[in-house]
């Protein structure tokens, strides 16, 4: 064998798998990442935004959510109690490598009062503790993690895994983009969000049982920070869930950024919207996503293609990201630069093009998003103001969820899957935990 373990992907799952193996002294280990090294990545480049050392989290604002109810489905695999302990352990590692000490939220009296107010507005507040690293600090933490891992793990960036090789029901190695076949005893596949289509294809080729995951489609909401100040002072990021009156669809808040900025993401030819917040600088606005989950049944089984279609439609109409005042949307007219100039909310994404999101979203989606805004207005007056800005579209793609054992092993022996690419996580901390779990399973077998 060339290596005992090959790890595919250098996002949170792959990094924490490598760190766990390195700290245990297991070698030789190879980590391959199709994107660039951290120092070479550019947040404004399409190919760098999601790929490279640190994965999609490198240019995020680094929220670590310490709740087993948010950020993935590991609780279904290992149990809620065990996951809670694992999240705390992974969080402690981030702190050791430079994440700030401060925690927001938790079940405090203020949080309980906010949860009661949410219920009166037909909203469910998911209480949780959050650690905010900050966009500028994420790079520092990731660089320190790389330094620790690289002491005993062979890291190759700009190196794509083409195919996972298996024979007689067990993994045998990985074929790389340079034509080399690397033989190994174990593979931990953690390709991340940008590797989701690749992971789906590998699952098909290897015959791994999997199921389609819903796609989340919605808008990025931007409003004056004072509107949500009372809430963000308590929780920093609040997770509200709403079920629409008309269709009973689930709508949720996601990635709330107090005093943050709206940014655009490039993923190949597709441009979508996202949000960041820094630890050391502030804007006058708060932004967050409103996402509506869409699941499909026969005969359609490709929710990722559906989400891409909606995103490309917005790009076709707006030549990129579209921004619209809520007041213009409700009045049935497009926003213009003249109308935006009179808007009390000053947009932080200057590249967004004024337009009309009613041409982009299906009626069912648009109605659900508007219902949610009015529900939020009951606990944060001003949310449904005509001066609230809506950017579209924001899409969260999730891989086919691969069927895994409690050790995160697939139906192919010694092939483990972790992170967002396996469809089992949706956030930094659960992805990190999944990498730890897969690596520990490898270490257990090596010790037997």
Domain identity same for 435 and 359: no
Q: What is the pLDDT of residue 44?
A: 74
Q: Is the dihedral of CA 273, 103, 230, 113 positive or negative?
A: positive
Domain identity same for 225 and 194: no
pTM higher than 0.85 for the full model?
A: yes
**Which region, left, alpha or beta, applies to residue 415 given φ > 0 means left and ψ of -120 to 50 means alpha?**
beta
Q: Which residues contact 74 (CB under 8 A, 6 or more apart)?
A: 68, 83, 86, 424, 425, 430, 433, 434, 437
Question: In this structure, what is the dihedral angle of CA atoms 116, 427, 136, 312, given to the nearest 10 degrees?
Answer: -100
How many domains is the chain built from?
2
Task: Tell me the C-alpha distance between 237 and 288, whole Å.
Answer: 9
Query: Looking at residue 382, what DSSP letter applies?
Result: T
Task: Tell me the C-alpha distance between 136 and 61, whole Å.
Answer: 8
Please, what's the largest Cα pairwise distance for the chain?
70
Task: Tell me the C-alpha distance between 45 and 41, whole Å.
Answer: 8
Q: CB under 8 Å, gap of 24 or more: what pairs does 239-242 form?
A: 239/70, 239/125, 239/126, 239/128, 240/118, 240/123, 240/124, 240/125, 240/126, 240/376, 241/123, 241/124, 241/126, 242/122, 242/123, 242/124, 242/371, 242/372, 242/375
Give per-residue pLDDT as tens, 180-235: 999 999 999 999 988 888 998 999 999 999 887 778 999 999 999 999 999 999 88
Q: Does residue 116 sit within a domain?
A: no
Give per-residue pLDDT as tens, 45-61: 767 878 999 998 888 88
Q: What is the pLDDT of residue 201?
A: 93
Q: What is the pLDDT of residue 185?
A: 97
DSSP-derived secondary structure for 295-322: ---TT---HHHHHHHHHHHHHHHHSS-E
The answer to whether 286 touches 260, Cβ cutoff 8 Å, is yes
DSSP-derived secondary structure for 119-162: HHTT-EEE--EEEE--HHHHHHHHHHHHHHHHTTSEEESS--EE
Instruction: Report the Cα 32 to chain-centroid distance in Å.
Output: 21
Task: Tell me the C-alpha distance between 58 and 364, whole Å.
Answer: 34
Q: Does residue 387 sit within a domain?
A: yes
Quote the tokens at residue 361. Answer: 């979203």
Q: Nearest to residue 235, comparing CAs of 288, 195, 189?
A: 288
Task: Tell me the C-alpha distance between 356 and 398, whole Å.
Answer: 27
List, for the chain, all residue ranges whose pLDDT scores fall below the cut of 50.
Answer: none
Domain identity same for 407 and 319: no
Q: Does residue 124 sit within a domain?
A: no
Q: Tell me which of 396, 416, 438 is where a domain ends.
A: 396
Domain identity same for 277 and 408: no
How many residues does this entry show for the chain? 448
Q: What is the pLDDT of residue 46?
A: 67
Q: Does residue 115 sit within a domain?
A: no
Q: Does residue 42 sit within a domain?
A: yes
Domain identity same for 204 and 298: no
Q: Does residue 275 sit within a domain?
A: yes
Q: Nearest to residue 222, comparing CAs of 266, 259, 251?
A: 259
Q: Does residue 110 sit within a domain?
A: no
Domain identity same for 368 and 409: no
Domain identity same for 379 and 430: no
Q: Tell me which of 381, 396, 411 is where a domain ends.
A: 396
Quote the tokens at residue 153. Answer: 């793990």
Find the helix or strand (DSSP H, E) in which 436 lies. helix 428-447
Task: Tell me the C-alpha distance between 184 and 10, whole Å.
Answer: 18
Q: Does residue 119 sit within a domain?
A: no
Domain identity same for 27 and 92: yes
Domain identity same for 300 and 173: no
CATH number at residue 33: 3.50.50.60
Q: What is the pLDDT of residue 399?
A: 66
Query: Looking at residue 405, what DSSP letter applies?
Result: -
For residue 186, the enclosing domain spans 3-105+129-211+400-447
Q: What is the pLDDT of residue 206?
A: 97
The answer to whether 392 touches 317, Cβ cutoff 8 Å, is no
Domain identity same for 196 and 231: no
Domain identity same for 63 and 140: yes
Domain identity same for 58 and 39: yes
């Amino acid at each position: 064998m060339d290596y005992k373990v090959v790890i595919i992907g250098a996002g949170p799952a792959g990094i924490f798998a490598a760190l766990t193996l390195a700290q245990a002294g297991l070698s030789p280990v190879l980590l391959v990442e199709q994107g660039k090294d951290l120092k070479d990545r550019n947040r404004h480049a399409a190919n760098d935004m999601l790929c490279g050392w640190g994965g999609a989290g490198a240019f995020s604002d680094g929220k670590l959510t310490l709740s087993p109810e948010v950020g993935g489905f590991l609780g279904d695999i290992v149990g809620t109690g065990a996951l809670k302990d694992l999240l705390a352990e992974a969080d402690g590692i981030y702190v050791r490598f430079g994440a700030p000490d401060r925690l927001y939220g938790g079940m405090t009296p203020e949080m309980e009062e906010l949860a009661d107010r949410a219920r009166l507005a037909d909203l469910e507040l998911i209480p949780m503790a959050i650690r905010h690293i900050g966009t500028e600090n994420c790079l520092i933490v990731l660089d320190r993690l790389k330094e620790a891992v690289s002491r005993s793990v062979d890291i190759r960036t700009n190196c794509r895994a083409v195919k996972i090789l298996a024979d007689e029901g067990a993994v045998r190695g990985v074929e790389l983009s340079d034509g080399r076949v690397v033989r190994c005893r174990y593979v931990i596949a953690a390709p991340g969000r940008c590797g989701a289509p690749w992971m789906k294809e590998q699952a098909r080729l290897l015959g791994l049982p999997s199921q389609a995951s819903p796609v989340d489609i919605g808008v990025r909401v931007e409003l004056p920070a004072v509107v949500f100040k009372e809430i963000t002072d308590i929780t920093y990021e609040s997770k509200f869930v709403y079920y629409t009156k008309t269709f009973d669809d689930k709508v949720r808040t996601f990635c709330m950024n107090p005093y943050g900025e709206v940014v655009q993401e490039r993923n190949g030819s597709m441009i979508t919207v996202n949000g960041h917040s820094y630890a050391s600088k502030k804007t006058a606005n708060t932004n967050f996503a409103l996402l509506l989950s869409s699941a499909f049944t026969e005969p359609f089984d490709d929710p990722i293609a559906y989400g891409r279609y909606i995103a490309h439609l917005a790009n076709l109409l707006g030549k990129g990201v579209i921004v619209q005042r809520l007041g213009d949307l409700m009045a049935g007219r497009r926003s213009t630069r003249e109308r935006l100039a009179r808007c009390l909310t000053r947009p932080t994404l200057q590249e967004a093009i004024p337009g009309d999101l009613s041409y982009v979203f299906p009626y069912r989606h648009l109605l659900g998003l508007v219902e949610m805004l009015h529900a939020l207005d009951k606990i944060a007056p001003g949310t449904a103001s005509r001066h609230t800005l809506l950017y579209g579209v924001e899409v969260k793609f999730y891989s086919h969820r691969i069927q895994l054992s409690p050790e995160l092993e697939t139906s192919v022996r010694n092939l483990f899957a972790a992170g967002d690419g396996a469809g089992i996580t949706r956030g930094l901390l659960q992805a990190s935990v999944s990498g730890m779990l897969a690596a520990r399973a490898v270490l257990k077998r090596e010790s037997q």
